[in-house]
Chains A and B, each alone.
Chain A
C-alpha cells in the first residue's frame, strides 16, 4: 500500500528566503507526482506535475524534483513571499491509477 509522507508538517520562514518542502513515498512504481497548493477553507490548486520519466519541472519561482528510485520529491520555492503562505500537498499516482495524497506542509511566510 502506497504511503506518502510530508515533513515538516508546518514551516515558518521570513520573506525572501528560499525553501524546500519534502515529500516521500514508499512504492516507487508510480506514473507521476503532483504538487498542489491549498489556501485555508479552499480547494486544491495544481502547481506542478512530474511524470515518472522526468527529473524536474519548473514554473516561475517553483521547481519540483523527483527521484523515483529513492521515493522522494522536493518542491523548491525561491524568494518566498507572504502570498506563498498556504498548505502544500503532494500526491503520487500509482500503477492502479489511484492518487495517494500526503497530509501536507503548512507554510507561513512572515514579513
Chain B
C-alpha cells in the first residue's frame, strides 16, 4: 500500500512566520503535488514536481514555494504566513509510468491556522 505521510496534522502559526509543511512518500513515485482545500472552493493545486529538483507552478502558487531535494520528500514553504493561508493542505503522489492513468495517493492533510 502506498503511504503518503504529512508530518503535522495540525499547525498554528503567527502572521509573518516562515512555515514548512513536509510530505514523504514511500513508493518511489516521481510525481508529487501540494493542494489546498477550502470550503466551497474544493481542491486547488499549488505546486507539483515531476522529479528531484524539478517544480512547476499550479493554479495558486503566490505566497508559496517548494523544495524537492530527495525523491521521497516534497516540502511546501510559506515564506511569510498570512491569515488567508489558513486552510487544509494536502500532499499527493503518483508514479510517472502511465502517469496520466495513475491514481493520486493522498496524505491525511495538515490543517494550518494562521493567527
Contacts and interface: CB of A to CB of B under 8 A. Distances in A.
Interface in A8-43: 31-32, 34, 36, 41-43
Nearest to B104: A46
A34 B104 CA distance: 9
Contacts of B16: none
Interface of B: 4, 6, 40-43, 45, 90, 92, 99-109, 111
Interface residues of A, number: 22
A49 B100 contact: no
Nearest to B59: A98
A51 B100 CA distance: 9
A42 B104 contact: no
Contacts of A89: 42-43
A86 to B, nearest CB: 14
B87 to A, nearest CB: 13
A95 to B, nearest CB: 9
Contacts of B6: 43
Given A43-B90, A44-B90, A103-B41, A97 B106 contact: no
Nearest to A104: B42
A58 to B, nearest CB: 15
Contact of B101 (A32, A42, A44): A32
Contacts of B90: 43-44
Given A49-B103, A97-B100, 18 more contacts: A32-B100, A42-B108, A43-B4, A43-B6, A43-B90, A43-B106, A43-B108, A43-B109, A44-B106, A46-B103, A46-B105, A49-B102, A89-B42, A91-B43, A91-B104, A93-B100, A99-B45, A102-B42
14 contacts: A31-B100, A32-B100, A36-B106, A43-B6, A43-B106, A43-B108, A43-B109, A44-B92, A51-B101, A97-B99, A97-B100, A98-B45, A101-B43, A104-B42
